[in-house]
């Protein structure tokens, strides 16, 4: 499949050009602002279009070389779209709460992920029959808590190669951690945010559900384009495969998880 395309009309219909009230602007976004309407900043889509295309190309290239891509969006308007998009292309996501050190303290996070897997095994196996109702309830609650926070990265198997972020103000810690580790950041940057620390900023509304869904769908499509490129490079005859892309998407998390060395499970911090 080709790199996903989009039109200026799609961006307009999704409200990508609507920024925040002029009182709430960040001066560092001045060069991306087209003007104002009813005291609302209007973002310059003539700049957004090429910057979004550049971001999609980077995403496709990262996926084509087998890189891991982490989707981040924890506010209610973004949470479901982020999870759906990441799952649809076999990638990873954080959509509940960003834990400080989620990337910079990956070893500790990995311990929590191993604890999550241990709980899944215990509650999904025969051992659960020997547990009391109280023990089962306690373990179930612990599992649900870990799943909410780490479920989207439990198969990642290591640090991501690229991070895609919705709302850099809310996800400022994720941006900082990626910068510390030298992990490239692609992010939608609204008129009230700063593009600092973002390698590939995409000026746009980061609050409207339609806009967020559009970004996520395009990023997911770019990942799938990259996976197809990887398969072609490896000599896979896509035409003869019944469902090659579905298999590639399904296998990606398992392959990544396999890279994580098996260690004894420990308690979550």
Split into its structural domains, the chain has a count of 2
CB distance 92 to 71 below 8 Å: yes
Question: Domain check: are 145 and 81 in the same one?
Answer: no
Closest alpha carbon to 185 in 79, 69, 30:
69
Question: Domain check: are 27 and 44 in the same one?
Answer: yes
What's the pLDDT score for residue 268? Answer: 34
Mean pLDDT in the chain? Answer: 89
Question: Domain check: are 144 and 168 in the same one?
Answer: no
pTM over the 0.75 mark? yes
Residue 13 has pLDDT above 80, yes or no: yes
pLDDT tens per residue across span 35-59: 999 999 999 999 999 999 999 999 9
CATH number for 205: 3.40.50.10490
What's the pLDDT score for residue 260? Answer: 46
Question: Domain check: are 225 and 133 in the same one?
Answer: no
Look up the domain containing 115 and give its range: 104-158
Question: Domain check: are 76 and 168 in the same one?
Answer: yes
The Cα 26–Cα 243 span in angstroms is 46
Order the strands of the 40-43 sheet from edge to edge.
18-21, 40-43, 33-37
pLDDT tens per residue across span 124-159: 777 777 777 888 888 889 999 999 999 999 999 999
Closest alpha carbon to 20 in 29, 11, 12:
29
How many residues are given for the chain?
A: 269
């Amino acid at each position: 499949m080709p790199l996903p395309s989009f039109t200026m009309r799609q961006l307009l219909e999704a409200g990508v050009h609507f920024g925040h009230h002029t009182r709430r602007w960040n001066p560092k976004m001045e060069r991306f602002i087209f003007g104002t309407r009813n005291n609302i900043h209007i973002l310059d889509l003539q700049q957004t279009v090429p910057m979004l295309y550049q971001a999609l190309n980077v995403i496709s290239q990262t996926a084509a070389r087998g890189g891991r891509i982490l989707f981040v969006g924890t506010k209610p308007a973004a949470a479901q779209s982020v999870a759906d998009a990441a799952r649809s292309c076999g990638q990873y996501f954080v959509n509940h709460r960003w834990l400080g050190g989620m990337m910079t303290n990956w070893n500790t996070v990995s311990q929590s992920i191993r604890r999550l897997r241990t709980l899944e095994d215990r509650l999904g196996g025969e051992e659960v029959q020997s547990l009391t109702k109280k023990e089962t309830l306690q373990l179930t609650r612990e599992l649900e808590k870990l799943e909410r926070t780490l479920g989207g990265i439990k198969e990642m198997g290591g640090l991501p190669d690229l991070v895609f972020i919705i709302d850099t103000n809310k996800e400022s810690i994720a941006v900082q951690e990626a910068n510390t580790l030298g992990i490239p950041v692609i992010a939608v940057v609204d008129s009230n945010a700063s593009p600092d620390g973002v390698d590939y900023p995409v000026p746009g509304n980061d609050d409207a559900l339609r806009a967020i869904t559009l970004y996520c769908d395009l990023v997911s499509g770019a990942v799938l384009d990259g996976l197809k490129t990887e398969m072609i490079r490896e000599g896979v005859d896509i035409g003869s495969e019944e469902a090659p892309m579905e298999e590639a998407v399904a296998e990606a998390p398992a392959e990544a998880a396999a890279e994580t060395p098996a260690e004894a499970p420990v308690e979550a911090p």
